[in-house]
Amino acid sequence: MTNPLAAKLRNFAPLTDDDAAVLDRLCADVRGHRAKRDLIKQGDRPEVVFLLVEGWACRYKILPDGRRQIMAYLVPGDLCDVQIFILKRMDHAIGLLSNARVAAIPENKMVELFETRPTLARALWWSTLTDEAVLREWLVNIGQRDAFERIAHLLCELWVRLKMVGMVKGGAFAFPVTQSDLGDTLGLTPVHVNRMLQRLRGEGLIELKQGRLLIPDVPRLMSVAQFDSNYLHLDGSEIG
């Protein structure tokens, strides 16, 4: 299978075969992990950069009283924390939402790449800047939209991001996220998430079966969500 990070970065700028080969070599150390395991825990000292090759993960924080907030989804092609070595301790955890294959990239390889590969370096900066833009958009989502729009908006974003790495097939993608997870990302109870998903299905906006999510009419879902993909900065891509 082709490297999902390369696929993603090509949405920013073209890469040479040489660049792509460098990215492949980054993934020398790929391992399989089971769902629900933590890749890093809150308080850990960061030792490597993780690259998700297959499966889904999330950043999350647990409050003292047990409430959980998910702050990002990581899908294939996503790196976590290119710069992380500057900080002494993780202020949040990264956990797996599904079984996954994950590459661990040591600091020195990362530094070397940034120093010797300006095109790739720029593309990686682009990807961290858009990660941040996604975070900002999630804040808008929770802060301003009601439950129905919130879920719709998140699904639109995931559709675009998975499209970038070629993981949307026939308008559908694998969706290993429980309604409880959705609640913890959107600041809603699982019960209410359930009712809103029913409404989305009822209105023909999504179909959900056996862990795959189908969006029959993407523009329609985008319009109910007031989704505007600008924040993903896909200038160099057909998806926009």
Partner DNA sequence: CGATAGTTTGATATCCTTCAAAACCTGTGG
Partner DNA sequence: CCACAGGTTTTGAAGGATATCAAACTATCG
Residues that bind DNA (CB under 7 A): 146-148, 178-180, 187-192, 194-195, 197-198, 210-211
Q: Which is nearer to DNA, 189 or 237 (CB)?
A: 189
- Measured from the CB of residue 153, what is the shortest distance to its own copies in angstroms? 11
CB 39 within 8 A of CB 50: yes
Pick out residues in 38-97 that bind its own copies (CB under 8 A).
59, 61, 63-65, 67-69, 71, 83-84, 86-89, 91-92
142 binds, among its own copies, DNA, none (CB under 5 to 8 A by kind): its own copies
> What residues form DSSP beta bridges with 50?
80, 104
Provide, rounded to whole angstroms, the least separation between the CB of residue 195 and DNA.
Answer: 6
Backbone angles phi, psi at 94, to 5 degrees: -125, 120
Q: Measured from the CB atom, is 199 or 233 closer to DNA?
A: 199
**1 binds its own copies, rule: CB under 8 A:** no
Q: Residues near 214 by Cβ (< 8 Å), separated by ≥ 6?
A: 170, 171, 172, 206, 207, 208
Nearest by Cα to 142 from 93, 199, 203, 70? 70
Q: Is 122 in the site for its own copies (CB under 8 A)?
A: yes
**Quick one: CA dihedral 31, 34, 35, 39, positive or negative?**
negative
| 97 DSSP 8-state letter | S
Q: What letters, b where the CB count within 10 A reaches 16 and e where it falls short, cover 99-124? A: ebbbbebeeebbeebbeebebbeebb
Tell me if 129 contacts its own copies by CB under 8 A: yes
Nearer to its own copies by Cβ, of 83 and 198: the residue is 83
Min dist. Cβ of residue 23 to its own copies (A): 18
The sheet carrying 30-33 orders its strands as 30-33, 100-106, 48-54, 79-80
* Interface pick for its own copies out of 186, 196, 197, 221 (rule CB under 8 A): 186
Q: Given the complex with its own copies, which of 89 and 209 has the nearer CB atom?
A: 89
The verdict on 101 binding its own copies (CB under 8 A) reads no
